[in-house]
Amino acid sequence: MNDKEKYTELVHRYWEAETSPEEEQDLARYVAGVDDPDFDEIRGVLGYLSFGRRKRGLKNRTVRRYSFAAAAASLVAVVVIGLSLLTSKPYSIEDFCVSYAYGVQTFDNEVIMASVESSLADFFAGDTPAETQLIEMFQR
Amino acid sequence: MKRILLCLAMMLLVAGTASAQRGLNCHPVFRGKVVPLERMVTTEVRGGGMATYKLDYYRGVSFQADTALARKVAALVTADAEAARSCQTEKTGDLLVYALIELKPDRKVNRYLCYQARSTGFIWVITLLYLEGVATLEDLHSMFEKQETK
């Protein structure tokens, strides 16, 4: 059994809640390192879960029991989000602002937005690079 | 089964982000597949402060590259430009050094790909941005030209 077959089976077991925490970590490491579209969905889910755990500082996976009401609420959320996606404006559950500089995360939103504005200004303010060079040549 | 229901809900939420640059030839650059993420400055903003620019989503990467890598990234940008609604490009020699690309909109959401390669001797500083929002090119130019005159 090659790696893809092995991890495809692991994905199936994950959806059935049959994987251990160690297997989930192994699966997360694998899907993060491959560029296979078959694993896009599980990659998205595991990435979102990983971000949430890191944000809350959770170290141990806790087993949660979902009641029928929680499942129904999830279904309603899916329907609402699905309807929202049909509208012109994409739905976003949460705004976020994140920056990494060579692997180190920046938490200062003001610094991040200042860099965003600077980057946008490079493209949308005034002259293109070639025009700028021409102007500088004539100004010498 | 219960986990599937919850994960299905999360998938739809994540899909909004994950699909933002999917389909672009430059997508691997944003994912750190062309240049490792540890060698880049990456920024991602959704909502919040982007409303000022009539934008919903901003994704930017910046990194240093030699000429060979700069050509590789330029080729990806050029491929995206070919399928764009409009584009403004500039070259130095045969190397693409600037591109402002208006991609085909996603429903009523405008999408832009901005690319710049600045030379610092033998090294190029590459900046690649992906934007989504209702802002038109005229809106964006107007916003920043107004800021310049202040």
Residue for token pair 């969905």: A41
Q: B140 exposed, middle or buried (CB, 10 Å; 0-12, 13-18, 19+)?
A: buried
| SS3 (DSSP) at B11 | helix
* Encoded tokens for B142: 């107007």
Closest A-chain CA to B98: A129
CB–CB of B107 and A112 under 8 A?
A: no
pLDDT confidence of B31, banded at 50, 70, 90?
Answer: very high
Q: Where are the domains of chain A?
A: 3-62, 99-139
Q: Which of chain B's residues have a Cβ under 8 Å away from the Cβ of A71?
A: 2, 5-6
pLDDT digits (tens, 9 = 90+) for B56-100: 999 999 999 999 999 999 999 999 999 899 999 999 999 999 999
Strands B109-120 and B86-92: unpaired
Residues with Cβ < 8 Å from B85, sequence gap 6 or more?
B102, B103, B104, B105
pLDDT digits (tens, 9 = 90+) for A69-111: 677 777 777 777 776 666 544 444 578 888 988 888 887 889 9
Candidate from A89, A95, A124 with C-beta closest to B48: A95
pLDDT confidence of A50, banded at 50, 70, 90?
Answer: low
Interface A-B, measured as beta-carbon pairs within 8 A, has a size of: 162
Residue B88, beta-bridge partner list? B100
**pLDDT value, residue A55:** 58
Which domains, and CATH codes, for chain B? 24-149 (3.30.2030)
Task: Name residues 19-38 of chain A within 8 A of B (Cβ).
Answer: 35
Task: Name residues 46-85 of chain B within 8 A of A (Cβ).
Answer: 46-50, 53, 56, 58, 60, 62
Q: Which of chain B's residues have a Cβ under 8 Å away from the Cβ of A119?
A: 43, 60, 62, 114, 127, 129
Q: What is the ipTM of this complex?
A: 0.81
Mean pLDDT for A5-22 is 86
CB–CB of A71 and B12 under 8 A?
A: no
Per the document, the length of chain B is 150
